[in-house]
Amino acid sequence: MADRQIIVRPEFIVTRQSTDVLSIEDPNVTAAVRYIREHAKEPIGVEDVVKASYLSRRILEVRFKKILRRSIQHEIRRIRVNQICEMLVSTNLSVSQIGNSLGYSSIHHISQYFRSEKGMTLLEYRRKFGQKDFLSGGFCFDFVLPKT
């Protein structure tokens, strides 16, 4: 029995303040990603991120694509979906309450938005990854390293 290998794939990564850092060499992209993280509970758009970066939209978009391999809009969506995941797993808030706290205009909108990103409904996600299975504080982490 000692020579059997068991592989357990993580479902969540718990982010602690000490490990929640950005390792991006471009200070403008770092500032833009930080802005997205700090304001993702608000209905922000690409123009808001551009204004916060003090670069032109085109230059910031080019740098985002080069460094992160995704668009500014994709980063906003990714972070907002991660916040939904975190709230579904670590709270007992209703979908309506989660949507309101994140600035979504309706339950229908947050449901469509989430399903398009995750391929499952909000309730399916909560049932699959909810607190009954994991310690409070875990959340969905959907980060793909760029190919080099």
Asked, for residue 92, whether it belongs to a domain, the answer is: yes
Residue with the two structure tokens 């230059």: 59
Asked, for residue 145, whether it belongs to a domain, the answer is: no
Overall domain count for the chain: 1
Render pLDDT for 18-53 as a digit per residue (tens, 0 to 9): 445 567 889 999 999 999 999 988 889 999 999 998
Asked, for residue 14, whether it belongs to a domain, the answer is: no
Asked, for residue 138, whether it belongs to a domain, the answer is: no
Asked, for residue 6, whether it belongs to a domain, the answer is: no
The domain spanning residue 90 has which CATH number?
A: 1.10.10.60
The closest of 100, 53, 87, 98 to 72, measured between CA atoms, is 53
Q: pTM above 0.75?
A: no
Q: What is the pLDDT along the chain (148 residues), one digit of tens a residue?
A: 567 777 665 555 555 544 455 678 899 999 999 999 999 888 899 999 999 988 999 999 999 999 999 999 999 999 999 999 999 998 989 998 998 888 888 888 889 989 999 999 999 999 998 865 344 444 444 444 445 4
Asked, for residue 142, whether it belongs to a domain, the answer is: no
Asked, for residue 8, whether it belongs to a domain, the answer is: no
Name the DSSP letter for residue 25.
S
Rg (CA), the chain: 17
Q: What's the distance, Cα to Cα, between the start and end of the chain in Å?
A: 39
Asked, for residue 81, whether it belongs to a domain, the answer is: yes
User: What is the span of the domain harbouring residue 37?
Assistant: 27-129
